Structure 1
Amino acid sequence: MNTDDTVRTFLDFYRERGHEPITGSTLLPPPSDPVLFTTSGMHPLTPYLQGRPHPQGRRLVDVQRCLRTTDLDEVGDPTHLTVFEMLGSWSLGDYDHPQSLRWGYELLRDGFGIPREKLYVTVFGGDEQLGPDLESLHSWWELGLPVESTRHENWWSNGPTGPCGPDSEIFFWTGDGPPEGRPTIDSRWVEIWNHVHMRYERGEDGELVPLRQVNVDTGMGLERFVSVLQGCRSVYETDLFEPWMRLVPPLWDLDELSVRVVCDHLRSSVVVLGDGVRPSNTGRGYVLRRLVRRLLTVLRRDDPSRSLGDLPGELVEHTLDHFRQSLGVDAVKDVLMDEELRFGRLLERGRRVLSRPEFRGLLSEEDFRYLHDTHGLPRDLVDGLKGQ
């Protein structure tokens, strides 16, 4: 099942059960939102989870593009991406959490053909404030799935305050041979879907207050789920990354980790550009500039002559088409090339600064702060220049 088939199967399943598809999957949150980018599928729905009526009803389904910079250091492993998509479904004060769990299992079993023995679930086992999520525990037992109880691992929130609640995480066995162990002790169990019983709001004082309505919020990372369905070792082996992994390695001689980082950061930069952001020294533009400079740092580590001018237009076009963005290939490449020129000038300035006697040895945290704040040299770039 390729990526398009996966999305279609998910959306059709929930449409048949009365869920309205919602649009507006841009990375950019509403102007009133202080967050730079949408970080999760539920993020744009926060007001409606808190009780505001949604214009399309109380059952919703969506494919939401997201961007997270908190995982940048993890990018290059089998599952983490900077820009990714979330398949999500919601009940805004409509059906209960057990119904969501039953539908979730039905979709995995019948829609995607995943056998029961390949699944394991975890549920909230209680903490200092709340007791265990017995409702979910009993629902999974009735469905015949093995269950493990945890504490903080099965509590979901989008930050220190706001809507939150206990969740059920569904794991898929990716190891060779029959499944063994359990999710908290064996990394071959990979999380594929999270069902959140979003019924509380945490205030500034840390106290939990019941929401005006009890919601269900589910989220499934598309790229990770597709890798599971296609039996791939990583998201980079799926059809979604096929043109990237076919064209980039012959273009630039890089090790596997570097290829993944370059592909992720380039792809993510194209998506951010497609959503209207341009490089700058502040806000969203700085996130984009940081991505481009990180990928250039990796790309030129062993060969300073490597250039984004060699990037095949097919890769840019493939990404823009997948994310349904109208920006042209030439416009994307023009911005990337301009950033490459700026990066070259930054490198020259960085080498001059780092050649000073006070920066020739090991650098302190104060040195890194000075180099960043005074000369615009981010730490990863300084580390790269020091290593040359």
Structure 2
Amino acid sequence: MDCRETVTTFLDFYREHGHEVPTDRTLLPPPGDDSVLFTTSGMHHLTPYLLGRPHPQGRRLGGVQRCLRTTDLEEIGDPTHLTVFEMLGSWSLGDYGPGQSLRWGHRLLTEGFGLRPERLHVTVFGGDEQVGPDLESLETWQDLGVPVEPLGADNWWSNGPTGPCGPDSEIFVWTGSDEPRGTPSTDPGWVEVWNHVMMRHDRLPDGSLVPLPQRCVDTGMGLERLLTVLQGKDSVYDTDVFEPWQRTVPGLWPLEPRRHRLVVDHLRSSMVVVGDGVRPSNTGRGYVLRRLLRRVLTVLWRGGLPPLDDLPLDLYVHTLDHFGQSPSRLQSQFQLQSQPQFQPQSQGSGGVSPEQVREVLLDEQRRFLELLERGRRLLSRRPRGEVLDDRTLRFLHETHGLPPELVEVLSI
């Protein structure tokens, strides 16, 4: 299955079971929510409704949410981590319970996506000093004939130190070439693809738990990770989502694999962030964007490689189309182009054109290169043997606007 088929299969399945699809997929958290800079999970925009507020589209929802996480930024470059990714999700807002959610999940994975039942394994919450084991999930999986491993804290989901929480059940797929063996906690051949959270409790500041006004189910399945399994790939970067990037980038910048993945991930993520209205700055969301771009530019600068000017507009078009950010959609919201040429879309209301996104990236590149040159001149005048200690780094940053990470690059 390619990406378009996978998303269509997921959405059609939940529509057939009475779920409405929310249209808001933005990376920006809801107005007034200062808890995070960006949307980090599929349920983030739904928190008020999980806590009991009626949702205008009803009690059954299913959709695709783009997410951004900076917690794994240092892991970018390995085969699995992405800064911006998409989450397939379903939600029961006080409607059906865990058993129904798990049965539907099993049916979609095996009948919809064609995964072999014998290559599935699950984990459930086995209980702790506050809450007993999740018997409903355990019994559901046993009834479906799926091997179950009860675990502790690994199967308890929280949105933070306080707030909605509850036991979860994680579904794993065996990815080894041989027959399945061991359990998810004992063999890395088991890869998690889907998490079903039984949202039952609200954790208070003192650590105690109180029941939520309504019991909900919140599920999340990473699209790119699922595609890696469905397409039999070793890396998310080898799935069809990244095909245009893998076809284009090596010809522009020959890089070793880890740096290649970092450049692809950060450029793609930057386009999506700009597409949602963020601009580079020294604080908040803008700083995250600036950091992503400057990491890319540092890799290219260190390697003596050409800058971003030659990056084809096709990749901007592809990325905005894929994430549903193009103002005028000539393609389906979830369609991925794999042909050599894409048709640029003109600017329209409600979105940012590919040309505008490219201009933001090139302007930030210009600023970065100017800063590099200024920093090079400044550091060349420092006394021989001067140690770049914390005090010196702070002076360079506060007085001359040179971030410590940039000074480090120039000092190598």
Measured against the shorter chain, the TM-score band is over 0.9
Which residue does 1:181 correspond to in 2? Answer: 182
Per-residue deviation, 1:299: 2.0
Which residue does 1:344 correspond to in 2? Answer: 369
How far apart are the structure 1 equivalents of 2:401 and 2:155?
40
Aligned runs of 1:92-103 on 2, under 5 Å?
92-103=93-104
Q: Which runs of 5+ in 1 are unaligned?
A: none
Which residue does 2:315 correspond to in 1? Answer: 315
How far apart are the structure 2 equivalents of 1:121 and 1:382?
48
In the alignment, residue 317 of structure 1 is paired with which amino acid?
V
Which residue does 2:9 correspond to in 1? Answer: 9
Which residue does 2:360 correspond to in 1? Answer: 335
* CA deviation vs aligned residue, 1:77-108 (integer Å, no higher than 9, x gap): 12211111110000001111011111100100
Per-residue deviation, 1:341: 1.1
Which residue does 1:266 correspond to in 2? Answer: 267
How far apart are the structure 2 equivalents of 1:125 and 1:375?
55
Maintained 8 Å contact 1:354/1:360: no
Per-residue deviation, 1:127: 2.0
Q: Which runs of 5+ in 2 are unaligned?
A: 328-351
- TM-score w.r.t. structure 1 length? 0.94
In the alignment, residue 29 of structure 1 is paired with which amino acid?
P
How far apart are the structure 1 equivalents of 2:408 and 2:196?
41
Maintained 8 Å contact 2:252/2:306: no
How far apart are the structure 2 equivalents of 1:251 and 1:107?
40
How far apart are the structure 2 equivalents of 1:340 and 1:22?
36
Q: Residue 78 of structure 1 aligns to a residue in which SS?
A: coil
Which residue does 1:229 correspond to in 2? Answer: 230
* CA deviation vs aligned residue, 1:8-51 (integer Å, no higher than 9, x gap): 00011111111111110111122111122111100000000000
Could you tell me the percent identity over the aligned residues? Answer: 67
Which residue does 2:346 correspond to in 1? Answer: none
**Alignment length (residue pairs):** 385
Aligned runs of 1:241-260 on 2, under 5 Å?
241-260=242-261
Per-residue deviation, 1:122: 1.0
Q: Residue 241 of structure 1 aligns to a residue in which SS?
A: helix
Aligned runs of 1:162-311 on 2, under 5 Å?
162-303=163-304, 305-311=305-311
In the alignment, residue 116 of structure 1 is paired with which amino acid?
P
In the alignment, residue 95 of structure 1 is paired with which amino acid?
Y
* C-alpha distance 104-253 of structure 1, shift in aligned 2 (>3 A): same
Which residue does 2:343 correspond to in 1? Answer: none
Per-residue deviation, 1:362: 6.9
How far apart are the structure 1 equivalents of 2:384 and 2:33?
43
How far apart are the structure 2 equivalents of 1:173 and 1:371?
51
* C-alpha distance 361-60 of structure 1, shift in aligned 2 (>3 A): same
Maintained 8 Å contact 1:350/1:382: yes
* CA deviation vs aligned residue, 1:171-211 (integer Å, no higher than 9, x gap): 11112211112211222211100000011111222221110
RMSD: 1.8
Per-residue deviation, 1:320: 0.9
Maintained 8 Å contact 1:294/1:380: no
In the alignment, residue 178 of structure 1 is paired with which amino acid?
E
Aligned runs of 1:346-365 on 2, under 5 Å?
346-352=371-377, 354-355=379-380, 356-357=382-383, 361=387, 363=389
Per-residue deviation, 1:380: 3.9
In the alignment, residue 409 of structure 2 is paired with which amino acid?
G
* C-alpha distance 367-92 of structure 1, shift in aligned 2 (>3 A): farther
Q: Residue 182 of structure 1 aligns to a residue in which SS?
A: coil
Q: Residue 302 of structure 2 aligns to a residue in which SS?
A: coil
Q: Residue 36 of structure 1 aligns to a residue in which SS?
A: coil
How far apart are the structure 2 equivalents of 1:289 and 1:110?
44
In the alignment, residue 32 of structure 1 is paired with which amino acid?
G
Maintained 8 Å contact 1:90/1:217: yes
How far apart are the structure 2 equivalents of 1:189 and 1:236?
19
Per-residue deviation, 1:374: 5.1
Per-residue deviation, 1:139: 1.3
How far apart are the structure 2 equivalents of 1:15 and 1:89?
10
In the alignment, residue 370 of structure 2 is paired with which amino acid?
R
How far apart are the structure 2 equivalents of 1:374 and 1:204?
41
In the alignment, residue 49 of structure 1 is paired with which amino acid?
L
How far apart are the structure 2 equivalents of 1:85 and 1:266?
16
- Is 1:384–2:385 an aligned residue pair? no
Moved more, 241-250 or 325-334: 325-334
Q: Residue 217 of structure 1 aligns to a residue in which SS?
A: strand
* C-alpha distance 192-369 of structure 1, shift in aligned 2 (>3 A): farther
Per-residue deviation, 1:335: 1.1
* C-alpha distance 247-146 of structure 1, shift in aligned 2 (>3 A): same
How far apart are the structure 2 equivalents of 1:116 and 1:383?
51
Maintained 8 Å contact 1:258/1:299: no
How far apart are the structure 2 equivalents of 1:172 and 1:248?
31
* C-alpha distance 376-208 of structure 1, shift in aligned 2 (>3 A): farther
* C-alpha distance 89-373 of structure 1, shift in aligned 2 (>3 A): farther
Which residue does 2:71 correspond to in 1? Answer: 70
